[in-house]
Structure 1
């Protein structure tokens, strides 16, 4: 058993606990109760940032509204073959007739889940398909899926930036019991693509931190192998994660894809991690941006700060941001004290890009068609 396997296997018990509780594991005591963890997320009212098409369009690319159902999304013709990955349905029990105005109930360990914003995000993706973009890729081969059928539950959503620009892989959280892409995956990737960067959101297998990290390593390998086809630069790539997804990003930062079976690939030069109880690190970790809410009762802010300080003491460049009056799973933090944290993380990433020959996208860049 190699070192990484030993580290990960030591957390299997806590990983099983997360599947049932929805809370990520931690190497320290977290000041929360099961009752607090099960509080349904709050919603905020914000104005849509996306321009809609004809909402009465009955074509393949028809937009959805908050009174559409889960079934409408899963079976939407624009999402043929991957509609089940748009919403966090990984836990396997849900009412397919539930309307999207109750989407927050699918993400019990997240806050600030606004149905209108979720609908805007889904409609943005429908528009991308309408524009001819291929937005979903399988990163495991047919043979790999035949050998392990659980790998059917994986894939990469792709949001194009400028041609040849660096890429980011975004890992949504969900306590390894669901993948909260619609709240802290797609919105992040859309923002990054609008800044000119190529952004991927990973759909990974739930139930195990180790398996999720293996999926992330496989996805990074896929992007590197297909960089020319995808028209992305492999230099200066970054890995982003929130909650359980931040554990994935941190593990890849510490051990690289090679730590999870995909050899010959570099570590990400930058890691961005939001609200996680992950505490392990190495002295060779890449520069790391850290964000957390001061009222987070799942990812202890003091634990995150202690890890950030330890990294800094080891010579790793770290930026730690703690936001007042906000708890766990805040996503982009729109309408809260954390609003704008993604822009700060992008600036941190840009400051640590080493390749002078890589053109950084301008803030006003429009994603390529």
Structure 2
């Protein structure tokens, strides 16, 4: 990121106008960090966790974005407003709308985009995957190609969700693993493709999982995404 800034590139984008931020001060905290990949490649939006009390970009945002950008994808890490799940989901809807509206300037494709979320952030991406951006105040846009969810038990779904990648640790002390598996089974029963990974002994918030049984999960998740690029 330092190299990008030093090279004169913009790495942080406001997706709300100054007027919108003045009318609603909670929008002043928001924005998108951009990790560039190949020109016109698909994009991903990464939503870190933080229990809606903070946004854990250093642990569950930037590391994911760096790995994805190395593979040529364009990646945005969302800094959403804290304190409200609904408000944060509305921030994500606005962010995706902004990317679509400015795709030519940003140099990204709007085809086959993917949403990635961990913990609280996974609830945001699941909601957009289920109901789309317009439900949460964004533009009327296609749903994501795939949704990647890490360690959350978010129960709600529409029955028309995108293919979904899910992972959790069996000893997660924050998330009810049985509830995670209930969602996975419900998605499967609705005919929605799901890839589910349950790891051992690494708890909640394992990030990239380096040095644990989960190490390499991103390769699996990227492959899951790529398996659906050709289906569009």
| TM band (smaller chain) | over 0.9
**1:292 shift after superposition:** 0.7
Counterpart check, 1:133 vs 2:6: no
Given candidates 42, 59, 68, the residue that maps to 1:183 is 59
- C-alpha distance in 2 between matches for 1:130 and 1:142: 26
Question: Which structure shows the higher strand fraction?
Answer: 2
Aligned counterpart, 2:38: 162
**1:145 shift after superposition:** 1.0
Counterpart check, 1:248 vs 2:124: yes
- C-alpha distance in 1 between matches for 2:104 and 2:190: 36
Alignment of 1:8-47 (within 5 A): none
Counterpart check, 1:323 vs 2:199: yes
Can you give the 5+ residue segments of structure 1 that lack an aligned partner in the other structure? 1-124, 357-369
Q: Which runs of 4+ in 1 moved over 6 A?
A: none
Counterpart check, 1:195 vs 2:51: no
Q: Deviations over 1:76-123 (max 9, x none)?
A: xxxxxxxxxxxxxxxxxxxxxxxxxxxxxxxxxxxxxxxxxxxxxxxx
Q: Deviations over 1:103-146 (max 9, x none)?
A: xxxxxxxxxxxxxxxxxxxxxx2222223331100000122112
Given candidates 138, 149, 159, the residue that maps to 2:25 is 149
Aligned counterpart, 1:332: 208
- C-alpha distance in 2 between matches for 1:249 and 1:276: 11
**Preserved contact between residue 69 and residue 75 of structure 2 (Cα < 8 Å):** yes
Alignment of 1:225-240 (within 5 A): 225-240=101-116
**1:262 shift after superposition:** 1.5
**Preserved contact between residue 161 and residue 197 of structure 1 (Cα < 8 Å):** yes
Task: Quote the RMSD (CA, aligned, Å).
Answer: 1.1
SS of 2:43 mapped into structure 1: strand
- C-alpha distance in 2 between matches for 1:131 and 1:334: 31
Rg larger in 1 or in 2? 1
SS of 1:352 mapped into structure 2: helix
Aligned counterpart, 1:282: 158
**1:282 shift after superposition:** 1.4
**Preserved contact between residue 235 and residue 355 of structure 1 (Cα < 8 Å):** no
**Preserved contact between residue 153 and residue 183 of structure 2 (Cα < 8 Å):** no
Bigger shift: residues 288-297 or 300-309: 300-309
Q: Deviations over 1:9-53 (max 9, x none)?
A: xxxxxxxxxxxxxxxxxxxxxxxxxxxxxxxxxxxxxxxxxxxxx
- C-alpha distance in 1 between matches for 2:190 and 2:71: 32
**1:354 shift after superposition:** 4.3
**Preserved contact between residue 239 and residue 271 of structure 1 (Cα < 8 Å):** yes
Counterpart check, 1:272 vs 2:148: yes
**Preserved contact between residue 170 and residue 201 of structure 1 (Cα < 8 Å):** yes
**1:263 shift after superposition:** 3.2
Aligned counterpart, 2:179: 303
SS of 2:54 mapped into structure 1: coil
**1:352 shift after superposition:** 1.1
- C-alpha distance in 1 between matches for 2:37 and 2:50: 26
Higher relative contact order (CA 8 A, sep 6+): 1
Can you give the 5+ residue segments of structure 2 that lack an aligned partner in the other structure? none
